[in-house]
Amino acid sequence: MKIEYITFDEFKPYIQLITVWHLLSMLPHLKIKDFVKIQKIKLETFEDFILLKNAKLVWYENATAEKVSWDAEDAQNIKLEDEAVSPANENITDLIQSFKVQGLTKDIEIISVTDSRLKEEVIVDGVKRGVALYHIFLNNPEVINSLIASPNFSIYLINFQSPAASIFFPCDFLNFYRENK
């Protein structure tokens, strides 16, 4: 696993939520580097995929495992591992098949956000790719090994870490506050 720290400016293209960008830009007196750490991790070995083991998704289910919106009263983030065991999404099964047959056709980036205060990580972008790759990790180690051995393309986990991550990404962490009540 190769870890490099990237600057906030390098992370900006990954921020799709205008709210997050505005919130961060309204805090000029704070030094972002003092409370945000952003890592770009190249997954180079089979064992590197264990980094994703406890990640949650920005997909939600209720107490009866029915898919719901993030703002449903009993919504809970779905665990990556649970979704990867038997993905029901047709796009994900197509991705799994594509990775198995074609290998990597471009660099893959999975963007996660970790709230170090809540000790929770949520994959906020690249969710389908993340589920597909983790499914392969769980079921086809030889395929994961061939993907990471690709001479032209790589798999990256880009992780935004902060004790204030739940403030920057409020909808994605709302359910953890419900759990901790």
Count: domains in the chain:
1
Would residue 159 be called left, alpha or beta, if left means φ above 0 and alpha means ψ between -120 and 50 degrees? beta
pLDDT in tens, 132-160: 999 999 999 999 999 999 999 999 999 98
pLDDT at 32 over 50: yes
Decide: pTM greater than 0.85: no
Query: What CA–CA distances, in Å, run from 144 to 35, 66, 97?
Result: 34, 30, 13
Q: How far is CA 90 from the centre of its chain?
A: 20
Residue written as token pair 């709230």: 115
pLDDT tens digits, one per residue of 91-124: 899 999 999 999 999 999 999 999 998 999 999 9
First to last CA, the chain: 37
Q: Domain residues for 10?
A: 2-25+34-179
